[in-house]
Structure 1
């Protein structure tokens, strides 16, 4: 088998009595699919938790520096650094920081609420601190300092992209994996090597309104009746199908051609997908679960989701969902040929066509070997 181009990861995970991902009205996110409306977990929610988790398989344990997503990097990272270094006066520092914000976030950057959060790598942040520090130290007053920053960013249009000569990792590991867009410096954009689908329940949505009260301890002790507050929220239960694709060629390119590093990323990713639960209302729902089934495939054809196995809603049982997934995969193999190499993990014995059942560590090592090939 030649070096594969894509790694595909399919997973099933069950969450009872939770509110994993909310919409703007505070209700569970939903998606019409096939014959039913499903509960949904957005790809942004999934990626956020995989990016920020702290455990042995965290992304920050891989090696390369991470990144910071914020719309206030100049105020929260650059300004404190200038103050700590004692660079120039307070007025000059504020002027260069505002000018930097306008260069990064646009002309309306003075209003923080109108900025869009930008993903910047730690090396890039150090670069920005160094650049504005040099300008501030040489400035005679606040006005000239601000103008000098604007001029520097106009003359050196590719301020961030100029760092790409040192590799995409200057923008942080997250950028190399999940991509980023920089409107002020488009050459600094990075294409995502990891593509994440929205997860959806394999069955119709299952939700309930949870009515609850808050007891006022002091009022109760005083003999008063009644609650200190009356509330309601939505709770859902669901067995979710999720799908992730890794463009291995692009991943290696984004990582400077380092196949071993690409392998390490994919091994960590498999562990994160299997064991990290997204979720809100953690204190009230404990939304933690491990995947009940995981299928990892490596091949060079265009990837294809297996979500269509659930276009007709299935029973909310992992055995039924796994059987539907396996049947759909068998049909795909029969129609198009079984060209992918695959292994799977499952809590119950299930038959996945052209696949062997192994544990999570073995599945991670398989993903690593395919990525580093």
Structure 2
């Protein structure tokens, strides 16, 4: 593949009072941008929500896991496939993973860091000893290590990546051969306007207060804010294809899963207290061949509330895209948007019109994804 393709995803989404992603004080994360305090949701929080969303729709074998307890997980798999009990399977798992040279954590059996792997990849490691497990189980440690040292354990983690690993990559600083370059970059979500931290003072009543004591059984506070967020992510389609062994069809499927899950997922912090799940009001897609472009500069000057903030944020995003393409002479391969504004409503007409100028006439979210796939397929065919 000679030409790089970048798929930029721009989202404007309003969230009610919530604490999606808390800091070390338990309050919503914030950032100073454009000289004012903004609500912020870290990229890590939204990447996890995205990964959980598409994993929940995939078979167990196609999911990815991030854990320190790799030895424990492999022990479980060996026991399941061979019938060995945990006491017999654990030394085999330890000997197999010793080949990788993973730094060990403070707790026995734990690695020093979280390792991100595909469930099918760990199943493949367990399968390496399916036929010999009974014989391996009776060996002493040194003999066991010698018996498994030629098995292709590292190779099992180097291909067959699930969507999560192919998209978000894997970093193991002391074992470069296990690294997978991420195909996705996710920006910190940032409010398009200034926000104020607020506190919910709550009390809980003791249902068994048979003595008639006055006062609450429990009191506390939860920090929260409400915000219209600009969210941005970019997918390097070329890198994604490489991570999936050159399979462009698999990369197209992974791209579609990412866009669906990135748009529809929400971090779950304090969700039972705030019921904060909303859908985006704008999802815009821009396919580029030069470089990814984050349009957060649209909101360096914070949006001021007139009749709300959402419509002004959508217009500002569209105008920034138009300005950027005109000034730099950009010619995106494809632009499209799904949004909730319509020219039939006088209050939304101006917003709908500027969005149409920037991204074309609005389409349903499913159609947006279908058309994106078709455009990328056409681009790949031309390159071939």
Q: CA RMSD in A?
A: 2.9
Q: Which residue of 1 aligns with 2:207?
A: 217
What does 1:95-106 correspond to in 2, within 5 Å? 95-100=91-96, 105-106=102-103
**Which residues of structure 1 form unaligned runs of 5+?**
none
Q: Which residue of 1 aligns with 2:354?
A: 351
Q: Which residue of 1 aligns with 2:153?
A: 159
Q: CA deviation at 1:182?
A: 3.3
What does 1:1-373 correspond to in 2, within 5 Å? 5-53=5-53, 60=58, 65-79=62-76, 81-82=78-79, 85-87=82-84, 91-100=87-96, 105-108=102-105, 110-111=107-108, 115-131=112-128, 137-139=134-136, 144-145=140-141, 148-149=144-145, 152=148, 159-161=153-155, 164=158, 168=159, 170-183=160-173, 185-219=175-209, 221-315=210-304, 317-340=309-332, 341-348=334-341, 349-352=352-355, 353-356=357-360, 357-373=362-378
Q: CA deviation at 1:369?
A: 2.0
Q: Distance in 2 between matches of 1:242 and 1:148?
A: 51
1:18 and 1:287 in contact (8 A); partners too: yes
Q: Distance in 2 between matches of 1:224 and 1:86?
A: 58
Q: Distance in 1 between matches of 2:27 and 2:354?
A: 36
Q: Could you give the per-residue CA deviations for residues 71-101 of structure 1, whole angstroms, max 9, x where no partner exists?
A: 11321442464267343x7654333344456
Q: CA deviation at 1:224?
A: 1.9
Q: Secondary structure at the match of 2:251?
A: helix
Q: Normalising by structure 2, report the TM-score.
A: 0.83
Aligned residues: 360
Q: Could you give the per-residue CA deviations for residues 11-53 of structure 1, whole angstroms, max 9, x where no partner exists?
A: 0001111000112221111122121121111111111111112
Q: Distance in 1 between matches of 2:6 and 2:363?
A: 20
Q: CA deviation at 1:283?
A: 1.1
Q: Distance in 1 between matches of 2:81 and 2:322?
A: 62
Q: CA deviation at 1:114?
A: 6.3
1:11 and 1:294 in contact (8 A); partners too: yes
CA 1:161–1:185 in structure 2 vs 1: closer, same or farther (change >3 Å)? farther
Q: Secondary structure at the match of 1:273?
A: helix
1:199 and 1:241 in contact (8 A); partners too: yes
CA 1:260–1:172 in structure 2 vs 1: closer, same or farther (change >3 Å)? closer
Q: Distance in 2 between matches of 1:66 and 1:135?
A: 27
Q: Secondary structure at the match of 2:22?
A: coil
Q: CA deviation at 1:331?
A: 1.8
Q: Could you give the per-residue CA deviations for residues 302-323 of structure 1, whole angstroms, max 9, x where no partner exists?
A: 1111001111111351111112
1:139 and 1:145 in contact (8 A); partners too: no
Q: Distance in 1 between matches of 2:304 and 2:276?
A: 21
Q: Normalising by structure 1, report the TM-score.
A: 0.85
